Structure 1
């Protein structure tokens, strides 16, 4: 029996034991995740410690080396003992392509950072998951400023719009 998982948006699905060892999983094109260890991934640690479903940071997949994020949910026994997790691996390529391919004015371009400033999408692929703009002189506050831009677009109060007018981007 063939099992299919993946497609346009998903890379695959997996199950771990309580120590983060993937004991079964399906990667697109019937490849498997078996044998990989995810105990050091933040999504696994947070799902284990909080007992809640977690959406992980964008990382390079250990199986495919592609940009992904994982939606990870804990599996617990009837007595609330942590048994492991189930994870759905979501591809991020489409979002990266959409953002980094956009043009702003004559020479500008789109990019996307995580809330800490780590570059997630950029026309120069060398910067993705390597450059953190909060460490670049003159750009330390840019992640905060960009989140203000999003707030204005979502019609959050005028006070935010006033602060936005004072910024020089």
Structure 2
């Protein structure tokens, strides 16, 4: 019971800090990608590479997030419930730590995707492509038609005043 409350408290603190963040669009990764999109506005291959890296970064984050949710659920789950005369008794002797260790490879896969498709690697790829070097075979192979068909919208900043 105490273990479940501690894990629930830690998760709620994480959610609270995430909700406290501003969504004004001034995040470093958003402005970085907007800058790259503006820089390579007329280059459809560069835009497709940016789309590819954005999708893969989001995919890595979803692997990590879903692994954390499943690990929290497994850690707080109980094995059995028995009813004795009007009292409900839960057996919390499940080995949640062993089950959570099974999820570590999934979180590691997501972390690997986020590191491989980081903004730094995106910038290196676009810089070498702009310098006239051909794209790596692995990058060319991953560029599908859907990355080229997404509309390219030029970013324009808008001044606004927050509501009180």
Question: Which TM class, normalised by the smaller chain length?
Answer: under 0.3
More strand by share: 1
More helix by share: 2
Q: Which has the larger radius of gyration?
A: 2
Q: Higher RCO, 1 or 2 (CA under 8 Å, sep at least 6)?
A: 2
Q: TM-score, normalised by structure 1?
A: 0.24
